[in-house]
Amino acid sequence: MINEFGSAGEADLLTQYAGPLTLRVLTWLFGCPTDLGQRLLADMAHIADAADAGAAGEAGADLDECLRRLVHLKRGHPGRGVTSRLMAHSAQLSDDEVVHQLVILMGVSGEAQQNLISNALRLLLSDERFAGDLSGGSLPVEDALDEVLWADPPIANHSTAYPTREVHLDGVHLPRVNRW
């Protein structure tokens, strides 16, 4: 992937690296063929960047079509990917339910992973503790990832929350969870 933009001497690491890398991982996890994966990436980008409801609707319709093709493909040729495992689950999900689960997975994991990669790259390339003198920083990548997760998390406003006391919500008991 880096070879595709490396010779230009500059890159938008979000759109040319973090986004495509995240999608490649997701489509691999889904067991998705390359052509469908490329369409999924384009559709997700169009949905996120759409200036009007019509454009977002068209991209959403194509995204739905791609995922339905994937489900149809996996019904005939199951594999080890997430799509096949969702279909094989004892809950016996319908094709619509599998498509909806894949959309949710793309939405919650795609953006978060892109932002984690981008935030970590920004830190690795700009912070002297990590970037050093361009020949290598003094702190490892793992430390940069830890710092990003604490100081600049990819989904700061959607973090997991745990009840600090017992709660009854709409007839459901949520026990107190002591995470810290």
The per-residue pLDDT for range 100-134, each reduced to its tens digit, is 999 988 877 878 888 899 999 888 888 888 876 55
List, in sequence order, the alpha helices (H) in 31-173.
34-49, 53-76, 82-88, 95-105, 111-126, 128-131, 141-151
Q: What is the pLDDT of residue 177?
A: 81
CA dihedral 57, 63, 69, 72 (to 10 degrees): -90
Residues of the chain with pLDDT under 50: none
Q: What is the pLDDT of residue 132?
A: 67
Among 13, 49, 26, which Cα is nearest to 110's? Answer: 26
Q: How far apart are CA 45 and CA 14, in angstroms?
A: 12
Residue 166 lies in a domain: yes
Structural domain includes residue 6:
no
Report if residue 130 sits inside a domain: yes
**Residue type at 89 in one-letter notation:** H
Question: How many domains are contained in the chain?
Answer: 1
In a domain, 138, yes or no: yes
Rounded to two decimals, the pTM is 0.71
* pLDDT value at residue 111: 80
- CATH code: domain of residue 162: 1.10.630.10
User: Domain containing 18: what range?
Assistant: 12-174
- Name the packing angle between helices 111-126 and 141-151 (round to 10°): 120
What's the confidence (pLDDT) of residue 71? 97
